[in-house]
Amino acid sequence: MKDEKIAVTGIVVDVKNAVTNVEVKVASLVSNPIATAAAAKVYQYLQITRGNIADADTSKITINFRVPKSWLTSNSVAEDDIVLYRFSESKWNALPTSKTGADANNVLYSVVTPGFSTFAIGSKEAAPAVTPPVEEKPAEVPVPTAEVPAAPEEKPAMEEEVKKPALSRTAIAWIVVAIIVIVGAIGYFMWQKKKAE
């Protein structure tokens, strides 16, 4: 394999059953296709697919890969702390990974896998456990309940009392004076009329 963007440098498949036109494809994935991370630090996710061969037809599958020394340095990962993870049975499983050598720019590794799948090259350090976010409930502030005055009882329209405005003492005095003046004026008018007869 000569693609510089793909970490896998070779795959050796030992077969136990007769097979023809075997195809093995390796793809470097841009991001993790699985909801959980394989390790605390991942160099590359890979998809290895096969054609015209089943896992049961193989007796041994060896994957050789490389990790740039620059990546190891910038991520503070020791050369011996690199693992190839295989996704199977709904989880990431670390495969026994051996360091086989190094060149000017890369450290070389080899691993035996029980089958093809999605893989991840990463650190031995496990990925941090993802806990579901806890919904923060706002603090409950007691709300004072306003006292609503009871509505006055309504009486039926027929029983409604007609309230007469109360007269003040001053108003009564003026009415009495007005009556006296009127009676006096009528009396004077009548007396004048009799006098004229």
98 lies in some domain: yes
Measured CA to CA in angstroms, residue 48 lies from 33, 56, 118, 174, 180 at distances of 13, 16, 6, 116, 124
- Whether 96 and 52 have beta carbons less than 8 Å apart is answered as no
54 lies in some domain: yes
Q: Would you state the pLDDT for residue 140?
A: 57
Residues 74 and 14 both lie in one domain:
yes
38 lies in some domain: yes
pLDDT band at 182 (very low <50, low <70, confident <90, very high): confident
Beta bridge partners of 13: 61
Residues 101 and 185 both lie in one domain:
no
162 lies in some domain: no
Which residue segment(s) compose the domain that 172 sits in?
168-196
Over range 78-104, report the average pLDDT. Answer: 96
Q: Which of 69, 96, 123 is the last residue of a domain?
A: 123
pTM of the model: 0.64
Q: Give the integer Cα–Cα distance in Å for 33 and 19.
A: 30
% residues pLDDT > 70 (the chain): 78
3 lies in some domain: no
Q: Give the integer Cα–Cα distance in Å for 175 and 61.
A: 125
Strand order in the sheet with 58-68: 8-15, 58-68, 106-113, 97-102
Residue 154 has pLDDT above 60, yes or no: no
104 lies in some domain: yes
Residues 88 and 180 both lie in one domain:
no
Q: Would you state the pLDDT for residue 7?
A: 95
More confidently predicted of 178 and 149:
178
Q: Give the integer Cα–Cα distance in Å for 96 and 85.
A: 9
Over range 84-102, report the average pLDDT. Answer: 96
Over range 150-175, report the average pLDDT. Answer: 61
What's the structural domain count of the chain? 2
Residue 186 has pLDDT above 90, yes or no: no
Q: Which of 123, 158, 182 is the last residue of a domain?
A: 123
- Whether 99 and 107 have beta carbons less than 8 Å apart is answered as yes
